[in-house]
Chain A
Amino acid sequence: MNAVPSQTLMAPRPLNRRMFLLGAGGLVATVTLVPQFAKSDTIAFPNNSLSYIKTAMGEGAINQGRITLDLPVLAETGNSVPITFNAEAPMPDGTFVKRIMMFVPGNPEILGADYILNPLSGSNVSIGTRIRLARTQNVYAVAQYSDNSRWGTQFNVLVTYGACVEDIFAVENEEYLKRQEMRGLTVPDELRGYVVQEGK
């Protein structure tokens, strides 16, 4: 609105196209502001994760905020996706993070990880690890603080090639051979060097 000279606003002029658009723009801005004020500060978790949360952290709404997930937006393989849990702690009143749970609804088992912390480890929370993702999905995390408040977040990860299919196609992969040895299994010689042709 600052760009409009004050005279044009003061002068009684018929409603031309430019003024109409300015007015309409202002109306749209007012309308779109309303949902932001009405935005919920709680977060909905997948239904089948609620029983885990209830058992570990009790019932009630989960606030949005305080915990953040550091994840790649695009994961080329779901076999090893780096993830870091960061939580605001300690809070000014000295509360720390007591427990963190992570949920992966797109995996065969929804509970992805469960960490139990204490004041020494729950005061500067930055837990880094690597997880498996079977497909593109939202990763959820919830943190329980020592005052029993729960704070959650979610992050969408695009997975190009999911976990759970690796072993069939990765026969020539050294990592696979190493794992087979650790399992006490061997890979037949005729399968070594086997390459899956594109489109088959």
Chain B
Amino acid sequence: MADPKISVPETAEKGGIIPIRTVIDHPMDSGHNYDRDGKLIPRRIINTFIVKYNGEEVFHANLRPAQASNPYYSFNIKATTSGPIDFAWIDDDGTVTTATRNITVV
């Protein structure tokens, strides 16, 4: 998995919305496709995407083979206090890719 690309604003208004967008490179092999030799390409996807805000889990996505490759997500979080926003992508093979962004709530 390559480095994820994350868009988080540097500051947010208290009580306002933090718009977050993330994308990560991954083939997301669904386990239903065949290669040119007719062999089944085994399933290998990112099965979980977790976002924590100040240590609290705010967004937990159980990804499925119906997820397109290079999973992209955009969602909103309500701004409460300044602190870290942690991202984690968990691969079928056990690899965990993590990233952190800090946000200042004014």
A121, CB-defined interface residue at 8 Å: yes
Task: State in angstroms the CA–CA spacing of A117 and B44 once bound together.
Answer: 25
In the complex, are the beta carbons of B75 and A132 less than 8 A apart?
no
Q: How far is the CA of A171 from the CA of B68 in the complex (A)?
A: 18
Chain B nearest CB: distance from A112 CB in Å? 4
A-facing residues in B55-92 (Cβ within 8 Å): 56-69, 71-78, 80
A123: chain B residues at CB < 8 Å are 78
A132 touches B68 (CB 8 A): yes
Look across to chain A and name the residue whose beta carbon is closest to the beta carbon of B44. Answer: A183
- What residues on B are CB-neighbors of A117 within 8 Å? 58-60
Stretch in A4-12, A38-46, A102-110 with 4+ CB within 8 Å of B: A102-110
B66 in contact with A183 (CB, 8 Å): no
B36-A113 in contact (CB<8A): no
A121 and B57 alpha carbons, distance in the complex (Å): 10
Interface contact A115-B36, CB-CB below 8 Å: no
Interface string of A84-98 (1 = CB under 8 A from B): 000000000000000
Distance in angstroms between the alpha carbons of A118 and B65 in the assembled complex: 24
Contact A121 B68 (CB under 8 A): no
Instruction: Determine which of A107, A111, A125, A183 lies in contact with B76 in the assembled complex, contact meaning CB atoms within 8 Å.
Output: A125
Query: Please, what's the 1-or-0 string for A176-187, where 1 marks a CB less than 8 Å from any CB in chain B?
Result: 000100110100
Contact B58 A118 (CB under 8 A): yes
A107 touches B66 (CB 8 A): yes
Residues of A109-148 whose CB lies within 8 A of B: 109, 111-121, 123-133
Q: Given A124-B17, A167-B35, are A109 and B60 neighbors across the interface (CB < 8 Å)?
A: no
Using known A-B contacts A120-B78, A121-B75, A124-B78, determine if residue A132 contacts B33 with beta carbons closer than 8 Å: no
Q: In the complex, A185 Cα to B34 Cα: how many Å? A: 13
| CA–CA, A185 and B26, complex, Å | 15
Flag if A179 contacts B76 (CB, 8 Å): no
A-B contacts, 22 of them at CB < 8 A, read: A80-B68, A80-B69, A107-B65, A108-B65, A109-B66, A111-B66, A112-B67, A113-B64, A113-B66, A114-B61, A114-B64, A116-B59, A116-B62, A120-B58, A128-B73, A129-B71, A129-B74, A132-B66, A133-B66, A164-B32, A166-B33, A168-B35
Given contacts A108-B30, A183-B44, 5 further A-B contacts (CB under 8 A): A80-B69, A112-B66, A132-B67, A132-B68, A168-B36
Residues in B lying within 8 Å of A, measured CB to CB = 17, 25-27, 29-30, 32-36, 41, 44, 51, 53, 56-69, 71-78, 80
Please list the 5 inter-chain residue pairs (A to B) with the smallest Cβ-Cβ separation, ordered nearest first: A128-B74, A112-B66, A130-B68, A114-B62, A116-B60
